[in-house]
Amino acid sequence: MNDRSAARILSATAVAGLAGAAATGPLAGWERFWINWVQWFLFLLTIGLGCLFIVALEHVVGAKWSVPLRRVPERLSSLILLVSPVALLGLLSLRVLYPWAGPESLQDPLIAGKSAWLNVPFFTIRVAACIVLWLLSYRIFVRGSMRQDQHRDPGFNVRVRRFAPAFMALFGITLTVMAFDWISSLEPEWYSDVFGIYIFAGTFLAGLAATTLAVQYLMARGRLPGVVPDHVYNLGGFLFAFTVFWSYIGFAQYMLMWYANLPEEVFWYKERLEGLWGPLLLALAILHFFVPFFALIPRDAKGSPRRMFWVAVVMLVAHWLDLYWMIFPVIGKDPVFSWPEIAFAFLFVSTALLWIRRAMTRGADMPVGDPFLREGLEFRL
């Protein structure tokens, strides 16, 4: 199948998905519509943010090995551009999904106590501020890097190296705000200090998995000359390490709440363990931790394209499942997966792939203006 026919198929599935998604509101209820909306825009947004984090990480630590690969996460992080308007439209979901957004919620003392933070105007300001900060960072990191292709100014590296640590702090705060606002405030009585870090672990893994897939896509087409399995090995090392990080944070959050057994904390897990959600959580643990961890243990596995491809695919599915397990229990006792979810999957995944396909044509395939490119290409384990 060539690229052009793939694009045609993607356009067709996107249109079909759009029709299905549009029918969801009237036919399956607006709650179902908006929950899918939030689920899917967060899925794409976390991939984009994870990729932006990978770019910033390279600048913070001054890594050389990742310079030849950097254009891939740079391009993928443009998903933030695609998702920003979707996130702003998502503000319409507040009255439908978020209990604190209605005036009647103030009768609950637990929610009333949080009303200084959880109210529609401030929420909107926070969402907008996060998006502005992300877009600004995108502009500095990615646009700057693309411009460097032409003018080859090494000063760019110095400037972003100064900016990157500040971005790290901003990223930590904005990602935590995003996690608290969009996901955990679906059930505003619940709170978890470590929730932002948990979401960060998933975000970074999703970014790494998407980067791995895109790198393999480009390598298979010979568009990354000089990139060898040693480079892919490092991506694999990151994936390997952060599967452990994710499960560590996830389990620590669960275990502390399980131990303390406070009603305003455990109910969140109770909802997510009862009925079919329990087996779903088990599947999440297997896909998000056991499969990638044991698949990547051998040294040769991290550089093997085939193994890395499957691990990355499993990781993206697991990341989606992770969000699904956190978000969907608010609309019902049992997991729902039917035509609305499939329609939204078609719409968002197809659109994202079309967007990435277009992004893959922007600029050179490697940061040709970066003075460290040569050194990066010479990287061997």
Do the Cβ atoms of 51 and 79 come closer than 8 Å?
yes
Cβ 13 to another protein, closest distance in Å? Answer: 42
Please spell the DSSP secondary structure of 299-325, one letter per residue: GGGGG-HHHHHHHHHHHHHHHHHHHHH
Binding another protein (rule: CB under 8 A), the pick from 110, 135, 251, 276 is 251
> Does position 255 bind another protein by CB under 8 A?
yes
> Where in 294-323 is the site for another protein (CB under 8 A)?
297-299
Please report how close the Cβ of residue 380 comes to another protein at its closest, in angstroms.
7
Q: Which of residues 33-72 bind another protein (CB under 8 A)?
A: none
Least separation, in Å, of the C-beta of 258 and another protein?
5
Sign, CA dihedral 222-225-228-232, equals negative
Distance CA 121, CA 115 (A): 11
Cβ atoms of 305 and 215 closer than 8 Å: no
For 324, the 3-state DSSP assignment is helix
Is 259 one of the binding residues for another protein (CB under 8 A)?
yes
Span of 1-9, 162-170, 184-192, 292-300 interacting with another protein by CB under 8 A: 292-300
* Region near another protein per CB under 8 A, out of 84-92, 215-223, 233-241, 258-266: 258-266
Q: Does 261 bind another protein (CB under 8 A)?
A: yes
Nearer to another protein (CB atom), residue 301 or residue 330: 301
User: C-beta of 250: minimal distance to another protein in Å?
Assistant: 12
Nearest alpha carbon to residue 78 among 379, 371, 360: 360
Q: Which amino acid, one-letter code, is at 132?
A: V
Query: 77 near 55, Cβ under 8 Å?
Result: yes
The dihedral built from the CA positions of residue 76, 80, 82 and 83, taken in this order, carries a sign that is positive
Q: How many CB atoms lie within 10 A of CB 198?
A: 23
The interface with another protein within residues 320-359 (CB under 8 A) comprises none
**List of residues contacting another protein (CB under 8 A):** 251, 254-255, 258-259, 261, 297-299, 380-381
